[in-house]
Amino acid sequence: MEEKEISRAVIKRLPRYYRYLGELLESGTERISSGELSERMQVTASQIRQDLNNFGGFGQQGYGYNVKHLHTEIGKILGLDQDYNMIIIGAGNLGQALANYVKFEKNGFLVKGLFDVNPKLKGVAVRGIVIRMTDELPAFLQEHDIQIAALTLPKQYAKEMADFLVDHGIRAIWNFAHTDLHLPEDVIIENVHLSESLMQLSYNISRYSREHK
Amino acid sequence: MEEKEISRAVIKRLPRYYRYLGELLESGTERISSGELSERMQVTASQIRQDLNNFGGFGQQGYGYNVKHLHTEIGKILGLDQDYNMIIIGAGNLGQALANYVKFEKNGFLVKGLFDVNPKLKGVAVRGIVIRMTDELPAFLQEHDIQIAALTLPKQYAKEMADFLVDHGIRAIWNFAHTDLHLPEDVIIENVHLSESLMQLSYNISRYSREHK
DNA sequence: TAGATTGTTAATCGATTAACAATC
DNA sequence: TAGATTGTTAATCGATTAACAATC
């Protein structure tokens, strides 16, 4: 039942392949070789072929890869051939920004609910999605089939909320709270830590100025 | 002049060390061993010691690490001992969310300006920061010493804007646009690709359901 | 068929972990 | 001093790159 384990490094690269293939598709390119794609993407052709061969042979010797076919296949690998229902917990600026981000919908991530504890936000609509109070969550989760919860709330509430969501059947969490969630291992967590990203930037800025002093 | 090159993997871990040390500091912990920290952070003690020793010996045999000292030192390595002036290009939902995110200010990232092309946004204030039109950028950049530009605009404008900013002296870009920027190598780029993060999540969801079918 | 390009094995490189002498 | 724990070297593991036979 268990498939061959694919390394995290490979999976992190797949969305980027998918993006480049999507752009090639839009530009009407029919086929592409690993060599040409490697030049565009600034990675080695060898890596592209290795990565793709984790999932089977999508190419053809002497020809390369059919752009449309490869795009579709990588989409399937990434699970983009189906829709996901998502809720957002924390309707602050970031939560509302995510709810407004139409691009996710295009990829099949449908925002079904937006929750907060602040009574002032109750009933406010963001792109047609009404903000509900978190105490309505149990009933909401019973009525709707939700696969993903995005956590855009202050870190001090994140752990408790994550536990609550997992208890109520959520199995995938997109975590924007600046804390590590410790959840059962069958729960999938994807972290987006913006401040850590910013610190990598400042590291490089200050390293650069140290080196050029 | 050139310091020993530190691997990206190490740098990615530094902000997490910084966070844990900050929490220990708040809780009043004075010293910690690599062994204890490794348990909390779920990494090996060996990795912690290796990582830290890239930057010199912060610990003491038989004692461990002084939490406050280590926290300060990692802060310095990350460049958090100074302030950075930042502008945000694109005052849509995400741009405004970033501008509102007070936590960055606490770490020394000061939002000095917010720019957009949409005349409807002109003069609107976000947390006291007035939204300006992008044609005011050249004058603004001349008057202010800006180190970081966050790009929260649609990808089709991102490349052009990035080139423009680099021409006007910006040397660090925090890129939220879903595209790769090709800039001179002395320009520091840190990408945050939210849709790619979401795709890693959906990959894991659909892998999980494949494996448990 | 000849040329191109994949799929795949082998070689290299880099990162992580283990081990332990140094030393507080 | 004895025990604890670092700093650092060596061993292992994994990921990337190179090479090339297979084949379209």
Report whether A64 belongs to an annotated binding site: no
User: What CA–CA distance (Å, rounded) separates A36 from A29?
Assistant: 12
**Domain A84-196: which CATH class?**
alpha beta
Residues A108-162 pLDDT 10s: 999 999 999 999 999 999 999 999 999 999 999 999 999 999 999 999 999 999 9
Residue A2 has a pLDDT of: 41
Q: In this model, does residue A12 exceed pLDDT 50?
A: yes
DSSP string, chain A: -PPPPPPHHHHHHHHHHHHHHHHHHHTT--EE-HHHHHHHHTS-HHHHHHHHHTS---EETTTEEEHHHHHHHHHHHTTTTS-EEEEEE--SHHHHHHHH-HHHHHTTEEEEEEEES-GGGTT-EETTEEEEEGGGHHHHHHHS---EEEE-S-HHHHHHHHHHHHHTT--EEEE-SSS-----TTSEEEE--HHHHHHHHHHHHHHHHHHT-
Residues A175-203 pLDDT 10s: 999 999 999 999 999 999 999 999 999 99
Residue A90 has a pLDDT of: 98
The answer regarding whether domain B8-77 maps to CATH 1.10.10.10 reads: yes
Residues B65-96 pLDDT 10s: 999 999 999 999 999 999 999 999 999 999 99
Other beta carbons within 10 angstroms of residue A132's beta carbon come to: 19
Q: Whole-number Å distance, CA A6 to C1' D17?
A: 19
Other beta carbons within 10 angstroms of residue A102's beta carbon come to: 9
Amino acid sitting at position A52: L
Q: Fold match between A8-77 and A84-196?
A: no
- Comparing every residue's Cα with the C1' atom of nucleotide C9, the nearest one is A50
Q: Which residues touch strand C (CB under 7 A)?
A: A 32-35, 45-46, 49-50, 52-53, 57-65; B 7-10, 43-44, 46-47, 49-50, 60-63
Confidence bin at A1 (pLDDT 50/70/90)? very low
pLDDT more than 70, % of chain B: 98
Residue B37 gets which letter from DSSP? H
Structure tokens at A65: 């890869």
pLDDT-wise least confident of A92-106, B114-128, B156-170: A92-106
Domain boundaries, chain B: 8-77, 84-196
Residues A72-118 pLDDT 10s: 999 999 999 999 999 999 999 999 999 998 789 999 999 999 999 99
User: What CA–CA distance (Å, rounded) separates B116 from B137?
Assistant: 10
Confidence bin at B4 (pLDDT 50/70/90)? low
